[in-house]
């Protein structure tokens, strides 16, 4: 779907997947006005296809658009694009449990010219899709994370809460460092004190304190420098319904280390569309390394995972109206 300042959104069309010609002076290639979303289409037991809270992705795309001085895309065009794609390519939504069709809507600046004085006046919104399995090889295998003190992903007043391409470009070096240190993923800390936990490379973090009836969840609050994950938001609502209080707050790396040592912190997991819910077992950083619990996936992690996956794949009744049939 194209956008121009005078016409608004126009020229919505379905085209075969393939390269798109771009002028070398296309604005997005120089000044990085590119935002995106990520969601999945799931096959339900009756054969129908559903997405999980697509309107939340549409709303977040528009929040990202406002931050990056880009035009907002009406929600009906966003969900309409998904519907059109699934009508045509629904067969690509896998029938195998745990697999899905990953949908990648994105929007970028298409003005041609090297002037940097004002945002682009023309944009292109595209939706592409790709079959997807588990994010981390090994399925729900616990991961090891690296506390990144050398780099920051987002600063106050910056673009951290937008799903903006540049945030990810700025992450690659730290992610490479994490891998070098023998870790699967980087954990971002705040840009000012380098001690408050924010999120991971492509997912939010949740901490479980206590166990059994006393278990409670803490997730870093939305300070403006982390991405407001839709999975995170869903879990903040689902966990209390399962008897597990969940709140937003602050946790520092020292608190994380101390609570893990004392046994007060029982589980840590990452959550996101691609990663679903993935246990975090080991933590490494400049102060050494430590383990969470006995290093195996904990009961709260697995309970929430089952509940979320059950909703997404249509095995649980959807009391929130989160599941949207689209095919
Ligand atoms: N943080 C970052 C940086 C991400 O890229 C993602 C994935 N979109 C998330 C968190 C999780 O968000 P969601 O639950 O909406 O997928």
Q: Which ligand 1 atom is nearest residue 233's CA?
A: 14
Give the CA diameter of the chain. Answer: 62
For the chain, residues classed under CATH 3.30.470.10 are 2-132
What is the CB < 6 Å shell around ligand 1?
38, 199, 202-204, 227, 229-232, 272-273
Mutate to test the pocket of ligand 1, among 198, 202, 277, 322 (most ligand atoms within 8 A of CB): 202
Q: In whole numbers, what is the pLDDT of the chain averaged over residues?
A: 95
In the chain, where does DSSP find H-type helix? 27-31, 54-67, 75-89, 165-169, 172-180, 230-241, 253-262, 299-312
Is residue 141's pLDDT more than 90? no
Contact at 8 Å (CB) between 265 and 256? yes
**Ligand 1 atom nearest to CA at 201:** 3
What is the model's pLDDT at position 134?
Answer: 64
- Rounded to whole angstroms, the Cα distance separating 219 from 221 reads 6
pLDDT in tens, 155-190: 999 999 999 999 999 999 999 999 999 999 999 999
Ligand 1 centre to CA of 112 (Å) is 31
Range(s) of the chain covered by CATH 3.20.10.10:
143-312
Phi, psi at 211, each rounded to 5°: -145, 170
Alpha helices in 202-252 (DSSP H): 230-241
Range 143-312 classified under CATH 3.20.10.10: yes
The pairing of strands 39-43 and 49-52 is antiparallel
pLDDT tens for each residue of 40-55:
999 999 999 999 999 9
Residue nearest to atom 1 of ligand 1 (CA): 203
With the most atoms of ligand 1 within 8 angstroms of its CB, the residue from 273, 274, 278 to mutate is 273
First to last CA, the chain: 21
Q: Mean pLDDT, to the nearest integer, of 94-110?
A: 92
- Testing ligand 1's pocket by substitution, the residue of 145, 203, 233, 234 carrying the most ligand atoms inside 8 A of its CB is 203
For residue 14, is pLDDT > 70? yes
What is the distance between the alpha carbons of residues 125 and 202, in angstroms, rounded to a whole number? 22
Q: Which of the four CATH numbers 3.40.50.620, 3.40.1390.10, 3.30.470.10, 1.25.40.10 does domain 2-132 have?
A: 3.30.470.10
Share of the chain above pLDDT 70, in %: 98
Q: What is the mean pLDDT of the segment spanning 130-139?
A: 69
pLDDT of residue 58: 98
| Structure tokens given for 128 | 């592409």
Ligand 1 atom 2: residue of nearest CA:
202
């Amino acid at each position: 779907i194209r956008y121009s300042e005078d016409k608004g959104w126009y020229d919505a069309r379905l085209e075969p997947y393939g390269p798109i010609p771009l002028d070398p002076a296309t604005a997005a290639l120089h000044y990085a006005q590119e935002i995106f979303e990520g969601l999945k289409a799931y096959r339900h037991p009756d054969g129908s296809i559903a997405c999980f809270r697509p309107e939340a992705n549409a709303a977040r795309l528009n929040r990202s658009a406002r931050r990056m001085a880009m035009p907002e895309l009406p929600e009906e065009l966003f969900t309409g694009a998904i519907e059109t794609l699934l009508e045509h390519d629904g067969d690509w939504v896998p029938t195998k449990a745990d697999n899905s069709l990953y949908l990648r809507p994105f929007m970028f600046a298409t003005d041609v010219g090297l002037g940097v004085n004002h945002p682009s006046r023309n944009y292109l919104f595209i939706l592409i899709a790709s079959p997807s399995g588990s994010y981390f090889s090994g399925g729900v295998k616990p991961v090891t994370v690296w506390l990144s003190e050398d780099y920051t992903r987002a600063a106050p007043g910056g673009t951290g809460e937008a799903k903006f391409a540049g945030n990810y470009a700025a992450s690659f070096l730290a992610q490479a460092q994490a891998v070098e240190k023998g870790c699967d993923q980087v954990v971002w800390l705040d840009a000012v004190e380098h001690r408050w936990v924010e999120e991971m490379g492509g997912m939010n973090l949740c901490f479980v304190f206590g166990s059994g009836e006393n278990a409670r969840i803490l997730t870093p609050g939305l300070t403006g420098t982390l991405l407001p994950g839709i999975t995170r938001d869903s879990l903040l609502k689902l966990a209390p319904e399962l008897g597990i209080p969940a709140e937003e707050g602050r946790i520092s790396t020292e608190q994380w280390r101390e609570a893990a040592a004392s046994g007060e912190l029982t589980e840590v997991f990452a959550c996101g569309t691609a990663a679903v819910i993935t246990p975090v077992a080991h933590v490494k950083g400049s102060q050494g390394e430590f383990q969470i619990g006995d290093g195996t996936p904990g009961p709260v992690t697995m309970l929430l995972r089952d509940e979320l996956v059950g909703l997404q794949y249509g095995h649980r009744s959807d009391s929130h109206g989160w599941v949207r049939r689209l095919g």
